[in-house]
Structure 1
């Protein structure tokens, strides 16, 4: 068993590796979790002793296989709890992240496996992110963002890159939800904003918003 702080570091390193590739820097981790680089270094040394990471001073850090599987277990719990909160307790998708951050540190694997079965083994969380199974395997979620699309192309809105409550509340205001079919109508040359339409309405979104909307089955 690992402490809550250790699990948070493993999850953070996993996310940064996924975004930037192997060997992430101490400063990158410090920026992500908003702490001092010296504190990060101290924790990385502890994780290295437990063979969860390989840490080289001034060269960065990467997860060992044990560290990767441990990170995926935390991610699995987080995303299953998000499913439970939305599906069974009727929370909105913008309300569940902070609660799941607390619940993800529950140690009982029996409980989590029963939760998975109770939810009928979901493959995706409420934000469209894949959920690892008990062995750390998860479905490959091949998607494109709207910024990858041409005028006239369309796809199904299946996930977000930014799952912050602020961004999800913005999408609620714009009446955009997972499962919507989105078509690109036009791209504004002046500011690269995107004119899009769904089944029910048309709207204009910034390029920053477009970069955070993930679609599949794009044609």
Structure 2
């Protein structure tokens, strides 16, 4: 076998090695010397790779290849039934930053039942949203206020804050929602948007007090 073919086989085998350090080195090698023949394998590994650091290296390696080659394959992954395939493809698309992927960031993905997929979709959306469509995106994101645990809520708040002032009217509307969790999350996000140095924990605790006082006042 020619030397080039031997190197290719070594890299492909390395990406599937049982040792995470070997897989990491193989992904590093592909990113260091990009070659379109490896893109399919990189995308395939993103869907199943168990190690966080290796997944990050796989994403980096994909960003080193032409977006015209990687983006269509990553968009295809967004329809996968495997949650990691969707999540990692979204993460990689956000890093590539090619806005041609924007139409693939659907409401279905932004409201995905899996928190990690949804969070990845939020980050991808804010990175890819075309100028003029921020308000519509903020409206979809606002439907997720109150969702999940603290980490998920913080991710959503950060995404809305990145959108800036266009999110304000939508947050103000959510502050009157019937669900106290939605009201709390909206208030906390609005506080952070106005004062980024406040910190999420402080903002959410303040929001809880505001909602509790409002409820008490209404009952009184």
Give TM-score scaled by structure 1 length: 0.28
- Structure 2 length normalisation: TM-score? 0.28
